[in-house]
Amino acid sequence: MDFTCTRQELLEAVNAVSRAVSSKVTLPILSGIYLETTDGILRLVATDMEMGIEYTLPVSVALQGATVVNARVFNEMVRRLPDGPVNFVVAAETAVLKVRYQRSEVTLNTMNPAEFPLLPTILDGDRFCLTQAQFKEMTRLVCFAAAIDESRPWFAGVFCDISPTGVNWVATDTHRLALLTTELPPESTVSERQVILSAKILADVARLLPGEDLPVQITFTQSQALLETGYLRVILRIIQGQYPKYQQVIPREHKGRLTIATKNLSEAVDRAALAALGKEGSNIIKLNVENDSLTIRANSPEVGQIYEEVIANIEGETVPIAFNYRYLQDALKVIGTEEIHLDLSATLLPGVLRGVGEERYLYLIVPIRTG
C-alpha cells in the first residue's frame, strides 16, 4: 500500500469512522481502522459489530493494498501531522505502516487486514431517501426521547413506522414520547414496514453529515439498515422487539390549550430546575393556570421555593399538573418554533407539546402524581 494525501483530507475521514470504534475492546482487531487503497481511492472502515462506518476519499495512490492501524493512535497521529503532503506506505514484506512527512517518519504497528470484519454489501431492500436536513431534524426532535438504559433495547431505539407516503419516527422512554412525521416524495416505492434503530447511533450519524445537498439513502434488509450519503456509508443492526402501539397513547383531543412563548417557558423551567440541586433536590415542577398566566412552582428543603409566572394565552379548561422538569426542558430546547401549545386534559393524563404552526411534530409527557 502506498498513498499520499494531506492531514486536512484524512482527518475528517478518520474522525468519522472513529465513531464506530468501540471504547470497550472486545476483539483487538475492532480497536483498529481498516485502510484500503484501490484505484485513486482510500477507503476507511471501522466497526464495533453494532454499527459500521465506511468513508471513501480520493487520494493519490501509488500502490494498492490494505492494512489495519490502531484507531486511537492513528487518530492522534493524523491530528498532529504538519501541513503539506504525507506519504503512507506498507512495504510488501513488512507489517508496519510508514508515515513520511517533511524530513520525519513515524513507523506504526499494524494488524492483519484479513482479520478485519468488513461491512456486508447491501444491494436489495426497502429503500427511500431523505434530505440531510430531514435526517438531522428527525434526530434532533426525536432521538433524545429514547431511553439511555438498554435493558429493554427497543426503548433505546427510534421506531420507524414507514408507509409509501411518509415515515412516523417515534421514541419513548415510557415517561415521554416524541413523534415526528416526515413526508416521502411521491415517487417513493417503499412498502409498509416497521423497524427499530438505535437512537444513539442515528444521532451520531447526524453529526457526521456535512449538511450538504446530498440526500441520505436508507435501505432496510431483514436485519440491517444502511445509511448512505456521498462518501459515507453506515450500517447498523435493526433492533428486535415489540414496540408499543404508540398511536394509542397519544390523546386525540384536549380540554385546555396554553399558548406560550417558547423562550419564556424554557427559561422559567430552567429556573424551576434549581429545586433539583443538592442531595434532597426534587425534579418535580407543578404547573397551574392563574388569571392570564401559567404558574410554575418548585421547592426543595435545601434550596428554597421557586415561583415562576409566564404569560400565556389560555383556551378551554385547564387543570393543575406536575411534571419532571427534565422531560419538559429537553423538548423546549429542541422545538424551534417561537411559540408552543401545551395541551392538557386532566391532572393524570399526559400533556402534549406542539410547536405553533408545526403539524408534523408532537411531544407527550406523562405527569407525576403528587400529594
The residues that touch a second copy, with contacts defined as CB under 8 A, are 70, 72-73, 76-77, 80-82, 96-97, 102-109, 267-268, 270-271, 274, 277-278, 293, 302-309, 311
Query: For residues 216 and 276, which CB has a smaller minimum distance to a second copy in the complex?
Result: 276
What residues contact 178, with CB distance under 8 A and at least 6 apart?
A: 141, 142, 144, 145, 169, 170, 171, 172, 331, 361, 362, 363, 364
Are the C-beta atoms of 363 and 350 separated by less than 8 Å? no
Query: For residues 98 and 140, which CB has a smaller minimum distance to a second copy in the complex?
Result: 98
C-alpha cell at 111: 494488524
CB of 98 to a second copy, least distance (A): 9
CB of 43 to a second copy, least distance (A): 22
Query: For residues 151 and 291, which CB has a smaller minimum distance to a second copy in the complex?
Result: 291
Query: For residues 302 and 317, which CB has a smaller minimum distance to a second copy in the complex?
Result: 302
CB of 70 to a second copy, least distance (A): 7
* Rg of the chain (C-alpha set): 25
Give the separation between CA 44 and CA 66, rounded to whole angstroms: 10
Give the DSSP letter of residue 144.
G
Query: For residues 102 and 174, which CB has a smaller minimum distance to a second copy in the complex?
Result: 102
CB of 44 to a second copy, least distance (A): 19
CB of 293 to a second copy, least distance (A): 7
C-alpha cell at 190: 417503499
CB of 145 to a second copy, least distance (A): 24
Query: For residues 99 and 190, which CB has a smaller minimum distance to a second copy in the complex?
Result: 99
C-alpha cell at 16: 468519522
Closest CA to 129 of 55, 229, 53: 229
Give the separation between CA 87 and CA 67, rounded to whole angstroms: 15
Q: Strand 41-47 and strand 126-131: pairing?
A: unpaired
